[in-house]
Amino acid sequence: MALRMLRSATEALYVRRLTRALDGGPRPRHVAILLDADGRGDRGTGQTGTGHTAAGSRAGGAKIRDVLRWCDAAGIRHVTVWVLPDDTSAHRTPDRSGPLSGVVEETVACMCTADEDWRIEVAGPLDRLPEETVRTLEEAVARTASRTGLSVGVAVGRSGRSEIVDTVRAAFRQHVSAGGDPRDLAEDFDLPDLSGHLRFPAPAGDADFVIRTSAEQRLSGFLLRQPASGEVHFVEVLWPDFRRTDLLRALRSYAARDRGHDA
């Protein structure tokens, strides 16, 4: 007990030190967080195998609310979390997708409680999710629509590659339905046409800082278009073990980077 109290007090002092170090420095406006994938978050539960499990995802879901509070306190205005990647929602068997969808519902529900001023926005192909999960997501968006606090983007069942394909299709459908010639759009298609149809919370804009946990140094198809000129930070801890000090260290790294080369 005494050792635990000492560690807690030491971490609190370190948090205050890191917070002071960030005062007045640059910080990202929009942070996107890529949580653990393919079961790494389940190690502490004794469960093995590939793919998210309900136990590991529930532990990760409980952490999300803490991290959102830390981001809010740090002055971050927009946070996007990848709750359920495309490969785990589109190709999962029904007996395993059900429990995970339930975890998504629990996680989103805890984000929109009355004691927080967070506004929930959802991005992703909801048609691939169970009806109850879709209803929970839509209710969360409606319930928090008038809030003015932290904007929380919930990325569900999405991958960057499929999103780009869907975006191009949407642009052409809109152009043709308005009486346009698809050959004209093909000739003039440019980045504004792509950005204008991305299924991404519009108020948040492009992510300027991506945090990836679990020591994996890859984006795994997460937000391939939006953070094209953003910064990426890799954290060598599993998502359920992510601490406030890890977030503040990431923000310190962001503040220390030289962006003089940026256009």
Q: How confident is the model at residue 85 (pLDDT cuts 50, 70, 90)?
A: low
Is the Cβ–Cβ distance between 81 and 33 less than 8 Å? yes
pTM above 0.85, yes or no: no
pLDDT at 73 over 50: yes
pLDDT at 41: 41
Amino acid at 77: R
pLDDT at 92 over 60: no
pLDDT at 206: 75
Average pLDDT of the chain is 75
What is the DSSP track for 80-128? EEEEE-HHHHHS--HHHHHHHHHHHHHHHHHHT-TT---EEEEES-GGG
Q: Tokens in use for 36?
A: 């653990």
User: pLDDT tens digits for 10-51?
Assistant: 888 888 888 888 888 888 989 988 876 444 444 444 333 334
Higher-scoring residue by pLDDT: 40, 172:
172
pLDDT at 130: 83
pLDDT at 234 over 50: yes
Q: Give the integer Cα–Cα distance in Å for 60 and 47.
A: 14
pLDDT at 59 over 50: yes
pLDDT at 158: 58
Candidate ranges 56-70, 81-95, 111-125, 209-223; pick with highest mean pLDDT: 111-125
Q: Tokens in use for 127?
A: 């048609």
Percent of the chain whose predicted confidence (pLDDT) is above 70: 65
Q: How confident is the model at residue 254 (pLDDT cuts 50, 70, 90)?
A: very high
Q: Write b or e for each residue in 147-162: b if 16 or more Cβ atoms lie within 10 A of its Cβ, otherwise e.
A: eeebbbbbbbbbbbeb
User: pLDDT tens digits for 195-231?
Assistant: 665 555 555 667 889 898 876 666 655 655 555 556 8
| Chain center to CA of 238 | 15
Angular region, 220: left φ>0, alpha ψ -120 to 50, beta rest: left
User: pLDDT tens digits for 120-145?
Assistant: 988 777 777 788 888 989 999 999 99
Eight-state DSSP code of residue 49 = S
Higher-scoring residue by pLDDT: 44, 236:
236
Nearest to 168 by CA among 179, 156, 182: 182
